[in-house]
């Protein structure tokens, strides 16, 4: 397979790069000074593109690569891939589900604890020497809080399982009620938000879920409510979120994702009821290695004409 051209537009993971280089002719686009020219010159050699949560395959890239057969995403979310165009052109698409579910769910619970128990602020309190001047203030209990989950797929379910271990009643919203699920279902996000303490975004980003967290939802969650976003930045109307937090109309937020990563609204930096992470839901050595192996497995299966391991299209 050494002659098969695989395009990686941005750096993602050194283990993945190394494993791809052992098997394929890997084009690392970010190392090339004139990208457009390089793409033009090598367009006929590229048969696969590696995507991730910030770089996928849009219509322009797909059109620029006439020999493209597969987009293998090093992510579970494939919102950066033009799926419609891929379907039209018979281009296969794969992602990395399951292997990252536990890490993302762990992180969601971590964010809940961090926001309610002010873990990051308390850490700053100790480091700054303020403890010597008096005790840190009281915070908010997590055990027993009602957790509302938007999207009860693999990750949403794993968050529910973990939150149940903290005696948290679980409720959810998804496109339709799930027959085999005992948690309370709300047909709208506003109703879910009005009836939970902590609202978690755990659904894929699609046209229907863009800005699923809007002003009405934020107001329903209210000044004691906490928003956790481990989905995608555009799930949230970020300027509404920022003004609600600044004005105290929302109790707090734990965010792993943002509208324009790596840009994060600076108004949030001074708020102690907000915990900000740099999109690290699946970022452990173990999980990123498993994700890389899945990307490689999908590419090998495709080029050996075997069934894909985790096909999306």
| Tokens at 153, concatenated | 């797929």
d(CA 46, CA 66): 8
Minimum Å distance from CB 281 to ligand O=CC(=O)O? 6
d(CA 235, CA 255): 11
Minimum Å distance from CB 246 to ligand O=CC(=O)O? 27
Query: What is the side-by-side order of every strand in the sheet holding 5-8?
Result: 25-28, 5-8, 46-51, 70-73, 92-94
Let me know if 118 is a catalytic residue.
no
Q: Crossing angle, helix 119-127 and helix 101-116, to 10 degrees? A: 60
Q: Residue 124: in which H helix or E strand, if any?
A: helix 119-127
Let me know if 232 is a catalytic residue.
yes
Smaller CB separation from ligand O=CC(=O)O, 61 or 230:
230
Q: Which residues contact 79 (CB under 8 A, 6 or more apart)?
A: 56, 204, 205, 206, 232
Minimum Å distance from CB 22 to ligand O=CC(=O)O? 23
3-state secondary structure 263-308: ECCHHHCCCCCEEECCCCCCCCHHHHHHHHHHHHHHHHHHHCCCCC
- Chain length of the chain: 313
Catalytic residue among 21, 249, 279, 300: 279
Let me know if 261 is a catalytic residue.
yes
Binding site for ligand O=CC(=O)O (CB under 6 A): 53, 75-77, 100, 281-282
| Tokens at 146, concatenated | 């009602």
Smaller CB separation from ligand O=CC(=O)O, 194 or 275:
275
Smaller CB separation from ligand O=CC(=O)O, 157 or 282:
282
Beta strand 70-73 pairing with 5-8? unpaired
Smaller CB separation from ligand O=CC(=O)O, 55 or 75:
75
Minimum Å distance from CB 265 to ligand O=CC(=O)O? 19
Smaller CB separation from ligand O=CC(=O)O, 99 or 189:
99
Catalytic residue among 17, 21, 69, 261: 261
Catalytic residue among 232, 235, 288, 302: 232
Minimum Å distance from CB 283 to ligand O=CC(=O)O? 9
Catalytic residues: 232, 261, 279
């Amino acid at each position: 397979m050494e002659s098969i051209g695989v395009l990686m537009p941005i750096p993602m993971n050194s283990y993945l790069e190394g494993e791809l280089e052992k098997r394929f002719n890997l084009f690392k686009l970010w190392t090339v000074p004139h990208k457009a020219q390089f793409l033009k010159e090598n367009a006929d050699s590229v048969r696969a593109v590696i995507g991730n949560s910030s770089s996928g395959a849009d219509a322009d890239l797909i059109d620029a690569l006439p020999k493209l057969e597969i987009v293998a995403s090093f992510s579970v979310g494939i919102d950066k891939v033009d799926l419609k165009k891929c379907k039209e052109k018979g281009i296969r698409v794969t992602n990395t589900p399951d292997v990252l579910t536990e890490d993302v769910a762990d992180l969601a619970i971590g964010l809940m604890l961090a926001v309610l128990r002010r873990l990051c602020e308390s850490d700053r309190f100790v480091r700054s020497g303020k403890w010597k001047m008096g005790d840190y203030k009281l915070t908010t209990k997590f055990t027993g809080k009602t957790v509302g989950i938007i999207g009860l797929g693999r990750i949403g379910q794993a968050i529910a399982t973990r939150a149940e271990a903290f005696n948290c009643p679980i409720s959810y919203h998804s496109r339709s009620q799930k027959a085999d699920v005992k948690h309370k279902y709300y047909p709208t996000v506003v109703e879910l938000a009005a009836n939970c303490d902590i609202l978690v975004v755990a659904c894929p980003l699609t046209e229907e879920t863009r800005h699923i967290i809007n002003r009405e939802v934020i107001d329903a969650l209210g000044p004691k409510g906490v928003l956790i976003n481990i989905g995608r930045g555009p799930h949230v109307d970020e300027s509404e979120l920022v003004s609600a937090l600044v004005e105290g109309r929302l109790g707090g937020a734990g965010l792993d994702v943002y509208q324009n990563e790596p840009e994060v609204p600076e108004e949030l930096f001074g708020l102690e009821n907000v915990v900000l992470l740099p999109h690290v839901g699946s970022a452990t050595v173990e999980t990123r290695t498993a994700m890389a192996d899945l990307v490689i497995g999908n590419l090998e299966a495709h080029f050996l004409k075997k069934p894909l391991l985790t096909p999306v299209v």
